[in-house]
Amino acid sequence: MSHDATTTESDASETLTMYADYVCPFCYLGEASLEQYRSGRDEPLDVEWHPFDLRSGKRGPDGEIDTDADDGKDDDYYAQARENVERLQEEYDVEMSHSLATDVDSKPAQQAALFVRERHPEQFEAFHEAVFDALWQDERDIGDPDVLADLADDLDIPTDDLRAALDDAERESALEERFAEAQQVGVTGVPTFAYDGYAARGAVPPEHLRRLVES
């Protein structure tokens, strides 16, 4: 993963935007780095999650993942990814039950998260964290509506409302628009941290996030 800061076309903002997909292990590690940086700040930092579809190269015309589709990632790619995940786990002191989740579709989880942020904003941060932990700590399938409903129920979010949101075609279209927006501003991989016209890609260390935001 590159740790170089690059310019981005996104609008300048006092909010740090994190483009991420729940099935990306580097996003989970990036969240840990971000929290380490935020905890060391004197002032709070607003962070906005922006969904990204890491599986876009494997989706068929019906939107479902085609596991046989060639997205350019071979065995060597995944071997290197595992090695990088293990290195960053140690560097950031993060426990993960597995290093990759290639058979999980996070689209339902991202649709659910947008619903929670819209309708239950006070519980969004906890739900967002719970989705990440469910996959990377507990090895649960966050593409399963039952799993997402369980996570919502734990936070007293009405599960019937969440299930209805998952079945809502308009919400699915809105999510896909967010995916397209990320591509339009030049985001090609995650995590990508964007702030005030600049961006850093990868699970960068806390010090790099400090330079991105404060310099």
- If we measure between CA atoms, which residue out of 50, 35, 197 comes closest to residue 114? 50
pLDDT recorded at residue 207: 97
Q: How far apart, in whole angstroms, are the C-alpha atoms of residue 133 and residue 115? A: 19
Work out how many domains the chain is built from and give that number. 1
> Do 68 and 124 meet the contact criterion of CB atoms below 8 Å apart?
no
Question: Cα angle at 211 between 209 and 214, to 5 degrees?
Answer: 100
CATH number where 186 lies: 3.40.30.10
Per-residue confidence (pLDDT) for residue 9, from 0 to 100: 41
Q: Which residues of 46-58 are buried (b: 16+ CB within 10 A; e: fewer)?
A: ebebbbbbbbeeb
Domain extent, residue 80, equals: 5-214
Distances (CA, A) of 9 to 82, 84, 192: 31, 28, 13
- Name the pTM for this structure: 0.90
Which residue, among 209, 214, 205, 195, has the nearest Cα to 50 in the 3D structure? 195
Which bin fits 72, alpha (ψ -120 to 50), beta or left (φ > 0)? left
pLDDT in tens, the chain (215 residues): 434 444 344 444 479 999 999 999 999 999 999 999 999 999 999 999 999 999 998 888 878 887 777 888 888 989 999 999 999 999 999 999 988 998 899 999 999 999 999 999 999 999 999 999 999 999 999 999 999 999 999 999 999 999 999 999 999 999 999 999 999 999 999 999 999 999 999 999 999 999 999 98
Q: How far apart are the first and last CA of the chain?
A: 22
The predicted pLDDT at position 23 comes to: 97
Q: Measure Cα distances from 66 to 56, 58, 108, 154, 173 in Å.
A: 10, 5, 16, 32, 20
CA dihedral 189, 55, 85, 92 (to 10 degrees): 60
pLDDT of the residue at 152:
98
